[in-house]
Amino acid sequence: MLTKLFFICYNFLWLLATPFLKRHKRMKIGFEDRLIQGNWQTLPQKLPIDIWIQASSGGEAYLSLELLSCLEEKDSSLHILCTSMTKQGIDILTQGREDFFHAWKLKYKQQAPHIHICYFPLDSEKLMHKAFSLTTPKICILLETELWPNFMKMCKEFQTKLYIINARITEKTYNSYKKIQTILAEISPQTIYATKEKDKELYADLFPQATCQFMHNMKFDTTYKELCIAMQASTNNEQKDFPQLAKNTCVFLFASIRKEEEDILFPFLLTLHKQKTKSIIILAPRHVARFEAWQEKFNKENISLINRSRCDNNHTFQAGEIILWDKFGELKKLYALADYAFIGGSLVPLGGQNFLEALVYGVIPHTGIYLDNFLWTFETQGQKNLAELNLLALHNSISSLETTFLALPERKFTEKAKIQATFKAWLKTYIDDTKKIMHNILENS
């Protein structure tokens, strides 16, 4: 009775919300798909979907592609549906599909698995039932933190095996789910692979019927591949079709800075600019909405910012300049240019941003101590973690960061290859779980 009442209320809320979601800035994109129209109507009607992989947004979409990379020649006949909630996720999946097809053709010289891409439906019972009726999936995979009640309910009704991979959960979310544990028990997934031992225990408590196992985070696999590619690339700082630096100019990069950190960092940036006259400071905010705010801050101090968007790829940046990097998609190239890097979202309790990307390009990341979203990097099973290996510099205050950065020499960092090699050796312990899990799922389907 309780479960029935829950779903009546839950579906009623979706009914009320749908007209507003249709006008929502982000949700209105791909709205036909969300109502099981559009691309959903192009799916093969008489062929079941073998695997449905759901990735919430861009980060999870990359993990979907990592799962696809684990497929082998014997899997060429599979029909796979990849979905996402956001345009960014759909764009990543679309480009990734083309890259996958190209790599498959080179490796196997035969037809690749069929990969269909759609926006994830609104989680109302009516729409999810329609989606499952169209696809009759054999396997469903949710990535990281998503639990969609009607999606999970349909997995039960259609006898679809449901897996949660790279699973994460916070204490707050756990406490919320605990209140409806009786309901969740009726739509339990088959297996949950969690990236932290603590998260595995929380999931096991929520879903006692499910098999809960520990796995190393899939981002270790994606990072390792990026690292190998970066190490094969040229070791000099010049990049084609990208702005250059004046010769021997040192670069201080501040990456993925969040709004809540601006007032903390700004006085420090002024001091750094004043003292490090032979260096370039690059400021790369996390969100586009903050570009104008940073411009105003420096204008009040009569300090000019150079906008990356106004510089073509033949431009050369000079010592003493501060560049506002207001163009997305170039952060990895910035790490390749940087000598020192601070990664934001970590000076205040925001969970942190991906500091592993800096190490891929031989730059030791400096961060605050608020790295809740990346605690899985410290699940080292008795081995030294990155901080203990001096591959991660943690700062418990802005004064600590300031003292450290002001003491750094203004010269090009020459030990990037050494850092990459050390990082690669450390990573090897934590890779290949994605492949093992994907193979296990396919073998037991």
Beta strands in 292-339 (DSSP E): 306-307, 316-317, 322-324
Chain-centre distance for alpha carbon 348: 20
**φ, ψ (nearest 5 deg) of residue 408:** -75, 140
Alpha-carbon Rg for the chain, nearest whole angstrom, is 24
So what's the pLDDT on residue 146?
85
Any alpha helices (H) in 161-310, and if so which ranges?
Answer: 171-178, 181-185, 197-206, 218-232, 262-275, 291-300
> First and final CA of the chain: distance in angstroms?
32
Average pLDDT over residues 70-98: 95
pLDDT of residue 173: 93
Confidence class for position 240, pLDDT limits 50, 70, 90: confident
pLDDT in tens, 391-412: 999 999 999 999 999 999 999 8
Per residue in 114-129, pLDDT tens? 999 999 999 999 999 9
Asked whether the beta carbons of 209 and 181 are under 8 A apart, the reply is no
In this structure, what DSSP letter does residue 239 have? -
- What secondary structure letter does DSSP report for 339? S
**Is residue 337 within 8 Å of residue 246, measured between CB atoms?**
no
Could you tell me if 79 and 48 are in contact, meaning their C-beta atoms sit under 8 angstroms apart? yes
pLDDT (tens digit, 9 = 90+) per residue, 294-341? 999 999 999 999 999 999 988 999 999 999 999 888 999 999 999 999
Q: At what angle do helices 125-135 and 149-157 cross, to 10 degrees?
A: 40
176-208 pLDDT, tens digit each: 999 999 999 999 999 999 999 999 999 999 999
Q: Which pair of tokens denotes residue 340?
A: 């020192």
CA distance 152 to 139: 12
